[in-house]
Amino acid sequence: MSAFLQNTFILLTTLSALLLPIAPAAHADPFPEDNAGEAAGEHERIYGEGEQKLPEDLYLLYRIVDRIARANNLDNEPWRVAIDNERVLNAYASEANLLTIYFGYLDQFAGNVSALACVVAHEMAHHTEQHVSRSDVFISEWAEKYGLGSSKFHRRAEELWRTYEAEADIIGYEYAVTAGFDPEGCIRTTEVIARLPGGLQETTHPSATQRRDAYEVLMAEQPAEQLRALGQANLADSLPLTYDMLWDYNWLRINPAQGGDNVDDWNRLFPDTPIQPTVETSE
């Protein structure tokens, strides 16, 4: 049951994956304005270290998630980013706050960081709206009621997922544009999806045409300038999120605003009985 669910959900979200524009190896900063102002030193330290230590694709995804999370007040919890090296165009949300982006998207969105950001924001929206856990509730209920293999079960499950996909498109659009990305990036994702097998059909996702139409309505109804102004204020009011590369799991954990260190947190809570941080040997 749960494996079925997971597979279906992955299938659903596959079509919604984003492509990442890959910055030149020289590492031109994708968001140079982040390095201005009072916090410039901190920006330079955290971002500079990331540029040197992280593989380029992961560094770009880190900058995208950092920016979306801070601009939208989603920076009070860790986000996790993994790259799947398969060449398919896909991305999905699973676990809690885990975003998996396939290489195919990074490759196909080369030169269009806003398209990649739209994909990332869509997957983040699946998490903030609890789509993974909420769909489980309905799927279990319908499997029992209609039978897992029944056409009624499949019809209802697909309807539910289409609803969630449309919701993630709307909220993801807001997240990405608030963070300063170009709304056209979302349109670009639908153009790519429209070329994929099944992309023009209504399945677990709305069709590429329906998704494009919905983005165009959003662009008209939610002017980018307003969203950006809000995001800009939140970005100016926060510092870059730190990260930890968990090589054993092959994912990047982007830490919440308060940092990702439990020893620090313990010592904040209990300064009279502190834990001494382990001295790290050179890496």
Tell me which stretch binds Zn ion (CB under 5 A): 7-15, 47-55, 57-65, 235-243: 7-15
Rounded to a whole number of angstroms, the minimum distance from the CB of residue 203 to Zn ion is 12
**Closer CB to Zn ion, 13 or 112, in the complex:** 13
**Judged by CB under 5 A, how many residues of this single chain contact Zn ion?**
4
Tell me which stretch binds Zn ion (CB under 5 A): 10-18, 148-156, 258-266, 273-281: 10-18
| Site track 12-31 with Zn ion (rule: CB under 5 A), x = hit | -x--x---------------
**Closer CB to Zn ion, 211 or 253, in the complex:** 211
Q: In angstroms, rounded to a whole number, what is the distance separating the alpha carbons of residues 219 and 234?
A: 21
| C-alpha of 234 from chain center | 18
Buried b (16+ CB within 10 A) or exposed e, 68-91: bbbbbebbeebbbbbbbeeeebbb
Rounded to a whole number of angstroms, the minimum distance from the CB of residue 95 to Zn ion is 15
**For residue 245, which of 48, 25, 54 has the smallest C-alpha distance?**
54
What residues are paired with 244 via a beta bridge? 253
Rounded to a whole number of angstroms, the minimum distance from the CB of residue 165 to Zn ion is 5
Q: CB pairs under 8 A, 24+ apart, for 124-127?
A: 124/65, 124/68, 124/69, 124/74, 124/79, 124/93, 124/99, 124/172, 124/175, 125/167, 125/168, 125/169, 125/170, 125/171, 125/172, 125/175, 126/13, 126/93, 126/164, 126/168, 127/93, 127/96, 127/97, 127/99
Instruction: Check binding of 135 to Zn ion (CB under 5 A).
Output: no
**Closer CB to Zn ion, 165 or 174, in the complex:** 165
Rounded to a whole number of angstroms, the minimum distance from the CB of residue 77 to Zn ion is 20
Helix, strand, or coil (residue 246): strand
Taking CB under 5 A as the criterion, which residues in 157-186 touch Zn ion? 165, 168
Q: In angstroms, rounded to a whole number, what is the distance separating the alpha carbons of residues 75 and 257?
A: 6
**Closer CB to Zn ion, 15 or 58, in the complex:** 15
**Closer CB to Zn ion, 119 or 252, in the complex:** 119
Tell me which stretch binds Zn ion (CB under 5 A): 9-17, 69-77, 174-182, 217-225: 9-17
Which residue in the shown chain puts its C-beta closest to Zn ion?
16
Which residues lie near Zn ion (CB under 5 A)? 13, 16, 165, 168
